[in-house]
Structure 1
Amino acid sequence: MHIYAFGSICRGEIDKGSDVDLLACVDGPAPHIDTEKYSVYQYGRLRALWEEGNPFAWHLHLESKLLFASDGSDFLERLGVPAVYAQGDGDCEKFRVLYERSFDAVSQSSNSATFHLSCIFLAVRNFATCHSLTLGEPIFSRRSPLLVNPSLDISSEAFSILTRARLLSTRGYGEPIMSNEIDAAIEAVRVVPQWMQALRSQKLS
Structure 2
Amino acid sequence: MPYNLPNLLTWLRILAIPLFVGIYYLPHDWLSPVNQNLVATLIFTGAAVTDWLDGYLARVLDQASAFGAFLDPVADKLMVSAALIVLVYLGRLDAPIALIIIGREITVSALREWMAQIGQSKSVAVSFLGKIKTSSQMIAIPLLLYHENIGEYFNSQQIGTWLIYIAAVLTLWSMFYYLKAAVPQVLRNGSDDAR
Give the TM-score of the pair, scaled to structure 2: 0.37
Bigger proportion of residues as strand = 1
Give the TM-score of the pair, scaled to structure 1: 0.36
Bigger proportion of residues as helix = 2
